[in-house]
Amino acid sequence: MSLMAILDKLKHLVKIEGNSFTFINIKINSDNTSEKFTSLNGGQTLGINLNKLTTSEKDIIRPLIPQAVEDGALLLEDKSKSRIEDIESKERTHDEQEILAFFKGKIPPDDYTALRASLYLKKRFADGAGKDEISELKRQIIWRYSKCGRNISDLCSAGYFETLIKTIFEEKERSGYSEGDILTTYNLIVEEGTLTVFVSTGMSSD
């Protein structure tokens, strides 16, 4: 049963004055302020306050949510939805598109996701996000990707992916190094977390 079909099933329950029931999303909350049913986002979102539902109304709604997910609706906490929208917004900027397009397919998939996360972290820092948020986002990167994640995050925040690491890839490709050789140098950098390895391989910084 699609979300639209489920919304259709709720029509007889939902009484919102002046509403023509054109909802395409649902927003569930449990607060003490909003009404049982509300029309949000210009009539696109049906707000449902679980705290205000009667037992029989809840009995009607309860099986509909899992059915909607089974049929392809995405069930997402509102703050994660906001986070996703923010990530996407930042990844649409020219500078991020450029750096991500360059490294996509060149570095391991996990490193690529760690890079995306690190670029987001960097942008949140630039936004003026609080220390707690920044620490927590970095902790999440390190928890998932361990030492390499930490190093990618540090190298990214210092701007090295856009500059020296990108240059290493470009120079080595131009010089005819194999993908494997280039990746070996890259892996040494992210595993060590510094560019001392870069210097020690004898490449000039010019």
Partner 1 sequence: MSSLLQEGVITFDAASKQEILSFFGKTIDSDGYLIEADNPAQRVITPDGEDITLEEFAGIRKGSEIYIKSDLPSLIELIDIIG
Nearest approach in angstroms of CB 79 to partner 1 is 7
- For strands 45-49 and 25-29, give the pairing: parallel
Closest to 118 in 3D by CA, of 65, 85, 162: 162
Place of tokens 């703050």: 79
The minimum distance between CB 40 and partner 1, in angstroms, equals 10
Q: Is 199 a residue that touches partner 1 (CB under 8 A)? A: no
**Binds partner 1 (CB under 8 A): choice among 88, 131, 176, 202:** 88
* 87 interacts with partner 1 by CB under 8 A: yes
74, 171, 194, 200: which one binds partner 1 (CB under 8 A)? 74
Q: Indicate the residue type of 70.
A: E
Structure tokens at 59: 């009995």
Distance (Å, whole) CA 9 – CA 3: 10
The verdict on 76 binding partner 1 (CB under 8 A) reads yes
The interface region with partner 1, picked from 8-16, 94-102, 137-145, 173-181 by CB under 8 A, is 137-145
Query: What is the spatial distance between Cα 117 and Cα 138, in angstroms, rounded to a whole number?
Result: 9
Q: Is 132 in the site for partner 1 (CB under 8 A)?
A: no
CA-nearest of 32, 68, 29 to 50 is: 29
Nearer to partner 1, 42 or 128 (CB): 42
Written as one letter, the residue type at 11 is: K
Q: Which one among 12, 79, 131, 174 touches partner 1, defined by CB under 8 A?
A: 79
Per CB under 8 A, which of residues 145..164 are in contact with partner 1? 145
Residue nearer to partner 1 on the CB measure, 51 or 201: 51
Q: What burial class does residue 93 get, using C-beta atoms within 10 Å of its C-beta: 0-12 exposed, 13-18 middle, 19+ buried?
A: exposed
Distance, in Å, from the CA atom of 194 to the CA atom of 201, rounded to the nearest integer, reads 13
Judged by CB under 8 A, which stretch of 26-34, 169-177, 186-194, 197-205 contacts partner 1? 26-34
d(CA 147, CA 85): 28
> Which of 78, 95, 98, 171 lies at the binding interface for partner 1 (CB under 8 A)?
78
CB atoms within 10 A of CB 46: 23
Binder among 18, 72, 128, 202 for partner 1 (CB under 8 A): 72
Name the site residues for partner 1 (rule: CB under 8 A). 2-3, 24-31, 50, 62-63, 65-66, 68-81, 83-85, 87-89, 113-114, 116-117, 120-121, 137, 140-141, 143-145
